[in-house]
Amino acid sequence: MSIESAKDAGFDSFCLVISDYFELPRSIVTSSARLDDDLGLDSLAFLECIVMLEEAAGHELEVDAIATVRTVGELFDFYWQFVGSTIDPGTP
């Protein structure tokens, strides 16, 4: 599997996890969806998101770097950058 296709599959799993965890329809969890204005996630939900991703990654993430994240796609890129394709997001 190429890196691109692994990333695509990883993104699909990632969206599924976000959708399940925050009880959102899968159809609205898209790359361009804004975490606040489209999904209605507030700062607390975002914090929960980070905790969930840290649990999935098995180590702490750099919270300062995540502060600029606005969309699902950006959040996934951030996550992918730290965990790469070797880790399946799994379920929390």
Partner 1 sequence: MRVIDLIMDRAARLGGEPAIITQATTVSFRDLADAVERTTLAIERIVPTHGAIVVSSDPIDQIVGLLGAMATRRVLYLDPGRIGGANAEFGWSYRFCDGDVAPTGAEAHRWLDSIEGFALVLRTSGTTGEPKFVIHDDRSLAANLILTASVEDELHERGGLHPSAPTDSLQQLADRAPHGLRFLSGMPLSSIAGVSMLMRSIAMGEQFVVPSSLEAHDLWSSAIVLGVTNAGLPPISALRFAGFGRDRLRPRPGFLHVGIGGAFADPSLVAGLENSLECLVTVGYGSTELGGVAIMSRPWDPADERHGTIGRPLRGVEIELRGIEGDGGTELVVKSPSIARGIIQNDELVELDEWFPTGDLADQTESDALVIAGRSDFMILRGGHRIDPARIEAVIERHPLINRAGVTSRPSRIPGNMDIIAYVSLHRTMRSTEVPDEIVTEIRRRCIGELPTHEVPRRFVTVADIPLASDFSVNRAHLRDLVRRNPLADA
Q: How many residues bind partner 1 (CB under 8 A)?
A: 19
Using rule CB under 8 A, residue 9 touches partner 1? no
Distances (CA, A) of 87 to 31, 40, 74: 20, 27, 18
To the nearest whole angstrom, how small is the minimum distance from the Cβ of residue 89 to partner 1?
17
Residue 29: other Cβ atoms inside 10 A: 19
Using rule CB under 8 A, residue 67 touches partner 1? no
The HSE-up count of residue 77 (CA atoms within 13 Å, CB side) is 11
Nearer to partner 1, 3 or 44 (CB): 44
Using rule CB under 8 A, residue 45 touches partner 1? yes
